[in-house]
């Protein structure tokens, strides 16, 4: 089978794995919290798509048999067949030629084996998931699919998946997430050199659809029906302008002296930051791949000769403006003395009291919150998108100013979150570097996770039995 077919199968399996997952994200990233637990950039939160109708096999378990053994734990044909049905439905939805069924089945089996190995590691490490966390994940899946939890289970029942089985899948995905957080994140370090390299690559980016650029422009007009002598004269004038700015003269001054374009005198030749598709194709193609500060030209168009300077380039990877959130929270840390369910019940009572006007949120945070922000009444200050771990961030995104969330489980414990206000803000250069650092960290986490999973799989004992059918 060719590589493209295998790649298609693997991509589809990743999507199918997300269908049985939840809305939390897998591997939050970022530096250590500056103020308050819950801080760090999340991985991209996957959108949960429910299986297509009929995608889940409803064949009885009586015909089941073992296809593999993983460290003494069996993998059954039913497990593989259920995943296989979902994978095939997803591939069919994508269109194109369907890879051979035995290829898909082998890849599905390997995915199930890898998941078994990781779940065994999580349980041996003492990682547990409380029922409250499963219910929170359940609500997130329903919300992502624009339905209530009751409607979610009606839909799943039509596809042959029981509530108990779906909640067990959610619990397993939560176990995997917590294991990866613990085992993988400590492996990743991002240096200033890594950030510098990423920013250089962004400046030379070639993705026009996600690019904004600001160009300096000098236009030397060529009259219609110009003679060759006139064209040569106009080209020489444009070359003189290009030579001056390449020699270090101020671009705005050169534009005012040489440019026949209106912005030459009005804006020092600057055309302004705008999406690349709003520039003439000639300008975009001439400057594509050039670093910020580069001088291009003269280049010819029907209007005349152009000298261009790449003043600024912004790619989607590092935004210049964002919507910031100002929130506060109460954190209860969980452990042997306080379960997630008990912490959630306590925070739900705090929420009721605040909404009834019987208590003040800040006063409760100062008295009860087990977080560094408690002295400030739980105030976390203004935060850019991606500052918080996925569970926290997702809950915050659903709130309107003044709203208080239901209790939210994260790796730090259980939170009660209040959104105070939002605003649009321009990122400083340092903040842009911080966001770039988070993007680089995400990329490194993907690689670190792949290496870790490979190591874990290599240590496992796997015995293959009958091929899945």
Would 208-315 and 322-426 be classified into the same CATH topology? yes
Instruction: Give the pLDDT score at 351.
Output: 96
CA distance 355 to 418: 11
Pairing outcome for strands 274-275 and 211-221 = antiparallel
Domain 3-191+445-464 has CATH 1.20.59.20: no
Q: How far is CA 195 from CA 228, 290, 386, 450, in A?
A: 50, 19, 17, 22
Can the peptide bond before residue 298 be classed as cis, meaning omega within 30 degrees of 0? yes
Instruction: Give the pLDDT score at 236.
Output: 93
**Looking at 105-234, which runs of residues are DSSP E strands?**
211-221
Instruction: Give the pLDDT score at 209.
Output: 57
* Strands, sheet with 66-70, edge to edge from the N-terminal-most edge strand: 73-76, 66-70, 462-464
CA distance 215 to 293: 10
- Kindly state the tokens that stand for 22: 């939840």
| Cα 275 versus chain centre, distance | 22
Instruction: Give the pLDDT score at 108.
Output: 87
CA distance 379 to 132: 25
Collapsing DSSP to helix, strand or coil, 299 comes out as strand
Mean pLDDT by 10 residues, the chain (469 residues): 44 44 29 42 38 47 78 89 81 68 85 92 90 88 84 84 88 89 87 85 59 87 87 92 91 88 70 82 84 89 90 72 93 92 95 96 96 94 88 91 94 94 89 83 85 90 87
How does DSSP classify residue 46? P
- Kindly state the tokens that stand for 16: 């199918």
Report whether 50 contacts 159 (CB < 8 A): yes
Instruction: Give the pLDDT score at 210.
Output: 60
- Ramachandran assignment for 126, one of left (phi > 0), alpha (psi -120 to 50 degrees), beta (any other): left
**Which residues is 159 bridged to in the sheet?**
none
Domain 322-426 has CATH 3.40.50.360: no
CA distance 59 to 208: 49
Instruction: Give the pLDDT score at 25.
Output: 26
Instruction: Give the pLDDT score at 414.
Output: 94
Return the domain boundaries, the chain: 3-191+445-464, 208-315, 322-426
Q: Rounded to 5 degrees, what angle do the CA atoms 90, 91, 95 make?
A: 115
- Kindly state the tokens that stand for 14: 């990743």
Collapsing DSSP to helix, strand or coil, 321 comes out as strand
159: closest CA among 1, 236, 50?
50
Q: What is the pTM of this model?
A: 0.60
Instruction: Give the pLDDT score at 41.
Output: 35
Fold of the 208-315 domain: Chitinase A; domain 3 (3.10.50)
CA distance 371 to 231: 71
**Which residues is 66 bridged to in the sheet?**
76
- Kindly state the tokens that stand for 83: 């995943």
C-alpha torsion 253→258→259→265, nearest 10? 40
Backbone φ and ψ of 397, nearest 5°:
-65, -25
Instruction: Give the pLDDT score at 408.
Output: 93
């Amino acid at each position: 089978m060719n590589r493209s077919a295998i790649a298609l199968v693997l991509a589809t399996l990743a999507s199918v794995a997300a269908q049985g997952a939840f809305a939390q994200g897998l591997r939050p990233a970022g530096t250590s919290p500056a103020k308050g637990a819950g801080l760090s950039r999340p991985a991209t939160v996957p959108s949960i798509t429910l299986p297509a109708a009929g995608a889940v096999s409803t064949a009885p378990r009586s015909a089941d048999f073992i296809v593999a053994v993983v460290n003494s734990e069996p993998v059954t044909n039913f497990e593989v067949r259920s995943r296989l049905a979902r994978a095939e439905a997803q591939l069919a939805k994508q269109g194109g030629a369907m890879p051979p069924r035995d290829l898909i089945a082998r890849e599905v089996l390997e995915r199930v084996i890898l998941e078994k190995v990781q779940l065994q590691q999580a349980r041996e490490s003492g990682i547990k998931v409380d029922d409250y966390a499963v219910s929170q994940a359940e609500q997130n899946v329903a919300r992502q699919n624009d339905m209530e939890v009751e409607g979610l289970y009606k839909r799943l029942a039509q596809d042959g998946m029981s509530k108990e089985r779906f909640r067990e899948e959610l619990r397993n995905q939560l176990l995997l997430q917590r294991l990866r957080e613990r085992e993988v994140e400590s492996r990743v370090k991002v240096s200033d050199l890594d950030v510098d390299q990423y920013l250089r690559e962004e400046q030379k980016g070639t993705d026009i659809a996600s690019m904004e650029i600001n160009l300096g422009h000098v236009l030397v007009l060529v009259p219609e029906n110009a003679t060759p002598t006139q064209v040569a004269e106009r080209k020489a004038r444009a070359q003189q302008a290009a030579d001056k700015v390449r020699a270090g003269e101020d671009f705005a001054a050169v534009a005012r002296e040489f440019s026949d374009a209106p912005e030459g005198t009005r804006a020092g030749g600057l055309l302004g930051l705008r999406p690349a598709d709003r520039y003439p194709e000639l300008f975009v193609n001439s400057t594509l791949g050039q670093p910020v500060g580069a001088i291009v030209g003269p280049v010819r168009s029907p209007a005349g000769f152009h000298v261009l300077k790449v003043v600024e380039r912004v790619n989607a990877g590092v935004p210049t403006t964002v919507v910031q959130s100002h929130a506060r929270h109460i954190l209860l840390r969980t452990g042997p003395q306080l379960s997630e369910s008990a912490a959630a019940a306590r925070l739900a009572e705090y929420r009721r009291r605040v909404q009834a006007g019987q208590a003040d949120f800040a006063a409760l945070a100062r008295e009860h919150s087990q977080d560094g922000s408690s002295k400030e009444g739980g105030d976390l200050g203004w935060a850019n998108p991606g500052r918080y771990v996925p569970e926290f961030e997702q809950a915050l995104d659903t709130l309107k100013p003044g709203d208080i969330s239901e209790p939210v489980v994260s790796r730090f414990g259980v939170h009660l979150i209040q959104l105070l206000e939002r605003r649009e803000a321009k990122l400083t250069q340092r903040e842009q570097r911080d966001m770039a650092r988070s993007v680089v960290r995400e990329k490194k986490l993907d690689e670190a996770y792949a290496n870790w999973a490979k190591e874990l799989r290599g240590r496992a004992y796997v015995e293959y039995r009958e091929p899945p059918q």
